[in-house]
Amino acid sequence: MPIGMLDTRMTTSGQTVQRALAAASSLASPPLVVSHQAVRDPKSISQGPSRGARSLAATASSSRSAPTDHGLIMEREPLRLAPGEPLWVFGYGSIVWKVGFDFDERVICAARGYRRRFYQGSTDHRGTPEFPGRTVTLETCDADVNPPCWGAAYRVPPERAEEVLEILEVREKQYDKRIRLDLYDDNGDVVVRDAVTYIATGASENLNWLGEASIEEVAETIATAVGPSGANSEYLLNLADAMRGIGVHDPHLDELERRVREIKENRTGE
């Protein structure tokens, strides 16, 4: 299939998905990293569930169907790239600290009009259908009032674009939207155009949506949930470390990290 039109429609079998599953599960670090360095403080930008965590799970289940694990890859429109055009991927969650695909350039940048929130339920990586974890998505917000969401964009050369997109479609299979967006530096200039990223929404087709909750409820879930990829808290702590590693200050992420550490320390002392 030509790179000019990468068909990523839903499929559950075949060599393409098998290759992507193998690659997504290994999440090997890329062999080549060329970073655009930027240091900033973007202020302009095994224990059972606790009572609070059990209450949260019950609340989520009562408002809509409980999140469920599934083998489906969300159906999406084909992604069209011009011949010879590279694929840019914006990472704002686990991709920042565990890329999982080959790339030849990384740019620290931000998405305007979005903020990072732990609204997506995870039943395949950081939780289970019985007790879903929480992973990040991008929530739209007023760009004139709210700071942008910082992360990293990865350039995939044209000859690897199809392969990497297949990996991402499986890795992000529980996220219901793939979007393209422009990314900015700390001067407000566009540094990457039409980057691809995956987000979760409250749409009915998203079987894993948990949605908004208090910082305390989110922290209780993250401190408790464990899935096939490990503890939900590990996901949060790795992300917080990765953000600090690229010079990013995210108050919401920092507060969640602080509260999760407190919860886990209190449980250890019980």
Q: How far is CA 165 from CA 29, 93, 185, in A?
A: 16, 17, 25
CB 41 within 8 A of CB 249: yes
Catalytic residue among 162, 163, 172, 257: 172
- 243-251 CB contacts, 8 Å cutoff, 24+ apart: 243/96, 243/150, 246/38, 246/96, 246/108, 246/150, 246/152, 247/38, 247/39, 247/40, 247/41, 247/42, 247/108, 248/40, 248/42, 248/45, 248/108, 248/150, 249/41, 249/42, 249/43, 250/116, 250/149, 250/150
CB 246 within 8 A of CB 96: yes
Check if 172 is active-site.
Answer: yes
As a whole number of Å, the CA-based R_g of the chain is 18
| The one-letter amino acid at 120 | Q
Which residues are identified as catalytic? Answer: 172
